[in-house]
Every structure is written in structure tokens, then in C-alpha cells.
Structure 1
Amino acid sequence: MLSISELADRLALNAVAFCRHYLSAGRRAGNYWIVGDARNKEGRSLYVHLTGPRAGRWTDAATGEYGDLLDLIRETCGLLDFRDVAQEARRFLSMSQPQMASSENIDVCERRLANRPAAERARRLFAMTQPLAGTLAERYLRDRGLLQATAHTALGFHPSCYYRDLATGSTEAYPALIAAVTDPSGTVTGIHRTWLDPSGGKAKVADPRRALGGLLGNAVRFRFPPDEPVPVLAAAEGLETVLSLLEVMPGMPAVAALTANHLAAFCPPAGCLRLYIAGDADAAGRQAIKRLSRRAQALGILPLVLAPELGDFNEDLRWLGAGRLKTNLRAQLVPGDAMNFLTP
């Protein structure tokens, strides 16, 4: 049986065929395969090395994620269990699919995929941030109608955050809003950066928002009580969606998964009884709602979808006002939750 490194190497030797199979929406550009993302969307954010010593290595410029082709199978196919990743890799290589030798082997393999240096870099960067109050990040969020952001310890401000243009290789530094991505135990596994323009809005760069570190199964968490069950939870894709909901439901525990794919893969905490899902209205968002709803139901959790009146909940907050947003949410929440979480 091939070891995990040998399996990854065998995939790398077949990188072109791999990309044609799993990333058919992309195209070859010299020694790279270019595609939109790991869900096989059209675009140019994700690139895979096809030749040379880095063959089989990939990077998503939009999220900062990277890995080998085993990681890409996991992301592309939405797989959580490494047994399924290895099985799919063997299927692609037209190999037999033997059982893994032991649970110890599986644990080692999963750690290999999960324990990336990026997670440590993310922890160091978040430790360097300062509270939002009085910063450019607070001003940016207030301009988005988000007035309570300084209350959230998952958010910080970095006055000079490194930014690299992946197309040109040039580097600069911009102020940035930093959000901590954590696992269920509260350990920081990644970060989400929004680079800012000192004159207002996001920085004028190709990718003003990027994630770094381990996002799969984790999220930016708000209002999670330490060492206590979370019977009611709101989950959404974007930071601003969650922060908009918290403007009128300040006591509601909530998570931002940051992408539709990661929202679909989010695992609600033990003790959760009701999960409110505020997904985006595009095709990827609708698919994420379906997948997360199925996972919640399998765990005995009631999934409930929250829908905005306009394009998203931040637009509702900014253009319709907090009062109208509360009225809309009151009609969608379980009555007891509306009483407990909506502000008067």
C-alpha cells in the first residue's frame, strides 16, 4: 500500500490529468493550471503547479489557502474524513482501495493535512492586532452600519499588514481588519484579513480580502459562552452578514464561516438544538444552505433559514434600518428566540 506521501507524489506526477478531471472549468497557462477556486468555478484565483519540484502544489490567491493534491481533493469534493480523500485519490489513479492499516495511520494523515505552518503564522499575526476602538477598522465597519463591532474580541486591527500581489509579486503594507478563525476549543486556526484604504473603504488592491490558515470545519465565533452548551446558533458565510445580525440580536451566538464551501462544512457544537442559517443568495450560497441543513438534521438539530429582504442582511441594515431588520427577523425566528435575542 502506498504511503500518504507516495500517494501525493503519484498524484503530482499526473497533475495535468488531475486538473482536467477535477478543475475542468480552468485552463493551462504555461506550467500552471488556473481556475476560480476549489469548487471548480471559472476564474483565476487558484493556481496549481504542473511541473518541476513544486508539481502538485496549489494556492488560492483569494483565500490564502494552499496545499497538495490530496488537500485539493478534500476541498473540491467536500470530504471531511481522510479515508474518503485517500479512497478518491486511489479511484482517480485507478488503484485498488485497500483499508487503511490502522487508526494510528489515519490520525497521522489527518494531522499532516491539518497542521500547516499557516496556522501558526495566523496566530502570530492575530496576536499582533490591537482592539478596534478608535481605529480605521472601526470607522470602516461603522460606515457599513456596524456600530457594535468593538464589543467582539474575535476582531482586531493591524495598522500595517503585509500584502503581496500574487500576479506581479510586488509587496506593500496596508491597515487591515483581522478576524480570528477558531476551532471548537477556541484555538486560533486561521485569520481573515480585510485590507483597508486610509481614505475609506477597502484597499484598492486585486484581492482586498484573504484568509490564512485552517478554515475547514472552523469559523469566526461571536458570543460563544466558555465551557457552556450553545442551544441556539446563527451561522453565515460573511463577516458583515453576521455582524449585521448581531446589531439587532447582540446576545445570539453566531459564526462566520467566510466562504460558502466552509459554511457547508461547518459542524454545529454539541448541545445545539436550533441552527439559523443566513446564506448568500447566489448558487454557491444556496448549495451551502442545503448541505449544512442536511448535516444539522443528521445531528438532530433543527435548521432554519434566515432570508434578507434585499441582497444581504448588511444591505437590509444600511438601507432599511435596524427597525425594519428586526421586524423581518421576528417573523422568521422561533417566538421564544425572538423574545430572548431581539433587542426591544
Structure 2
Amino acid sequence: MLAQRVEDLARDLLPNGRRDGAEWRCGSLAGERGQSLAVRIHGERRGVWCDFASGQRGDALDLVAASRFGGDKREALRWARGWLGLGAGSVAPAIMPAAPAPKDRRPDAEAEARRRAALALFLAAQPSIAGTPVDHYLRGRGIALAELGRQPRALRFHPAVWCGEAGRDLPAMLAAITDGGGVHLSTHRTWLARDAAGHWRKASLETAKRALGGFAGGFIPLQRGASAKPMREAPEGETVAAAEGIETALSVALACPDLRVIAAVSVSNFARIILPPRVRTLILCADNDEGAQARDAVTRAVAQHQAEGRIVRIARSPVGSDFNDLLNAEPQA
């Protein structure tokens, strides 16, 4: 039944996407503009979708679960019945029983190949970013890494990373997306280019940022905070600040160097981040320019981490759309 109305469903779940032939296209499950996620809205495969950046895929019910409920099919089924206008006690015969949870499945060969390719790309990049286009790009965003005392090990520079949208290699800032134990899950790419004035900026692309490999539950570790220990060795009672993007997270780290700071990559991943039990407080540094779907994602994240026994706070910049805007709004010393 969801598949029969999948175009309406896609418009509701991913409102910032656009129709592209027989597909509905957007950047990710967070619903931003882009091309990485495709939902088939016409033809024999109507209702099937795939996020080519993360490797996630499934049917229409999986789309509801992944985009709104962190993969919880029970909650997705309840929501879907309401969206379809079915009564609470009704049965939707066209909806298949929930598949096993992702943790019960063995990773398929394709996903493992992407993970290895992502790791190889990261390891091939330049570990020190001082003086590179990445350094100049971040300085252009008001972020001077020297003020942190150390360069985040999760960031590297690569002079030539293939960009499908541009059809050629471009310089890129690479970031390691890891799990709580430090295992490399995927590699985040931010393609860079010089502007008319010769300054390094994000490349002028529809989607200048993409992740290679699945990253659900992972994060980019950017600042270890007062303990200076990796996440897997975080002290009891640790506080973690999580922002959506790298630049926002680095801005928070500059303002609060004693905090452990991570980037979640997307707002939909806030609820999926897997943190050690020793982390007792989570600060979600949410953007101000969110749509309804992003606000729902933050709400789900609060509920999820509270259910895991944490104190959860939401912090928003008093100016602009995020804390990088706040950083650049302050008078420079």
C-alpha cells in the first residue's frame, strides 16, 4: 500500500528532494537536496530505494523506518497505518513483516568493499593538513586549528579525489567516520576549489559533501576534550557535544576546548550515534535552519539517548544558522 502511494510518501518524508524521471532524489535520509538517495516512484520497482552514499536500501516501509524512526520498523508500521488512514487495529496485508535488525545481519560483500575502499582512500591522504587547501578552507570559515593545540587526527587532505558530479578529480578534505571503538566505518569527503579571488572554498557543486560507505551510528571524532583520551577510553561521567557538520563541530571545539566534540555527519544520525555507557551527558548542537523533518530527527535523538540513561541538552547558536556563523560573527582578536 505504501508502494502504491510512494511518490506522495517520498514528498512527505523527503520534502527537499525533487523528481528525476522515475525517481525521487535527495541527498540523504535527512532529506536535504542532492542526488545520493533515490526512491523509485514509478514502474515495476516502485517503492524500492537506495542511499548510494551510505549503502542503505530497502522498500517503502524501510524508508519510513530509516528516515523517521532510526530503523525501528515497529514504530514505522504504526506511523504508516496512520498515514494510510488505517485504523489502529487494522492490518495492512501488503506490508511484509519486519526484517531482522541490521545488527543481526552479516554485512554484504558490497558494503564491506565500500568500507575497505573508504579506508584506503583515507590512508592515501596527507595526514598533516597545515598549509594545505584544507587548512586554508577552514581558516576561511574562521577555524584556526592551531588554537586547538593539535590537528584532529580524523582530518586529512587529498589533492585528487574523484567527484562524479564534476566528472573529474578535485582536492578534498577527508574525515574518518568511526564507531565508538575507533573502527573506521566510512570516509567523508568535502570537495574544495578556489573562488574567483583565489580563496579555497567548498567546490561549487549541488552536493559538495558525501560519505563513502555506510556511517549509521558512527561519527567524526574532532576534539578529545579535557581527558585527551580516545572515545573508547572516555572517563566515567564524560560529556560529549555532537554537531551535524565538521565546520560546526570545530567551531564548538574552539569555543569549548575542554569538551569532547564529534560531528554526526547528518541530523538523522544524531539518534543513531553509539556512545560508550560512560558518556552520561550529550549536548546536541543543532542547526537553526532546520525543516520539520530535521526537527523530528532531533526530537528522536533526545528520546533515544534519554532512553539510554543520558542527560540530553540541545544547544543552538543565538545568531545565524549554526555555531560556525556565531564564530564568524564575533569580533576577531
Question: Which range, TM-score by smaller chain?
Answer: 0.7 to 0.9
Indicate the structure whose relative CO is greater, using CA pairs within 8 Å and at least 6 residues apart: 2
Residues 23 and 40 in structure 1, CA contact (< 8 A), matched pair in contact too: no
**Greater helix content:** 1
Matched ranges for 1:289-304 at <5 A: 289-304=298-313
CA deviation after TM superposition for structure 1 residue 279, in Å:
0.5
1:250 equivalent in alignment to 2:250 = no
Pairing of 1:88-237 with structure 2 (within 5 A): 94-95=94-95, 97=97, 108-109=104-105, 111-112=107-108, 115-131=111-127, 132-148=129-145, 151-165=151-165, 171-198=167-194, 199=198, 200-224=200-224, 225-226=229-230, 227-230=232-235, 231-237=238-244
Paired position in structure 2 for 1:328: none
Identify the residue that residue 70 of structure 2 maps to in structure 1: 79
Deviations 1:225-270 (A, max 9, x none): 2342341111111111110111132232111111111123323321
Q: 1:68 to 1:301 in 2, by over 3 A?
A: closer
- Could you say which residue in structure 1 is the equivalent of 2:328? 318
CA distance in 1, matches of 2:255, 2:70: 35
Equivalent position of 1:69 in the other structure:
58
CA deviation profile, 1:183-210 (whole Å, cap 9, x unmatched): 1111111121111113321112222111
Q: Which residue is 2:39 aligned to?
A: 48
TM-score by length of 2: 0.75
Distance 1:301 1:89 in 2: 29
Quote the residue 1:271 is aligned against.
278
RMSD across aligned C-alpha pairs, in angstroms? 3.6
Q: Judge conservation of contact 2:220–2:263 (CA < 8 Å) in 1.
A: yes
- Report the count of equivalent residues: 300
TM-superposed deviation, 1:84: 7.0
1:196 partner letter: L
CA distance in 2, matches of 1:78, 1:114: 25
User: In 2 relative to 1, CA 144–93 (structure 1 residues): closer, same or farther, beyond 3 Å?
Assistant: farther
Equivalent-residue separation in structure 2 for 1:52 and 1:97 (angstroms): 21
Please tell me whether the aligned partners of residues 174 and 190 of structure 2 are also in contact (alpha carbons under 8 angstroms): yes
Q: Distance in 2 between matches of 1:260 and 1:268?
A: 16
* Contact kept in structure 1, 2:38 and 2:50, CA below 8 Å: yes
Task: Tell me which amino acid in the other structure corresponds to 1:319.
Answer: A
Query: Letter of the aligned partner of 2:158 in structure 1?
Result: H
Q: List runs of 5+ in structure 2 lacking aligned partners.
A: 82-90
**More moved, 19-28 vs 155-164:** 19-28
How far 1:33 moved relative to its partner? 3.3
**Identity in percent:** 29
Code of the aligned partner of 1:298: A
2:50 to 42, 52, 58: 58
1:154 Cα deviation from its structure 2 partner = 0.4
Displacement after TM superposition at 1:159 (Å): 0.3
Using the alignment, how far apart are the partners of 1:43 and 1:120 within structure 2?
25
Deviates more, 1:153-162 or 1:259-268: 259-268
Change (3 A) 1:282 1:35: same
Asked if the contact 1:57–1:66 (Cα under 8 Å) also holds between the matched residues in 2, the reply is no
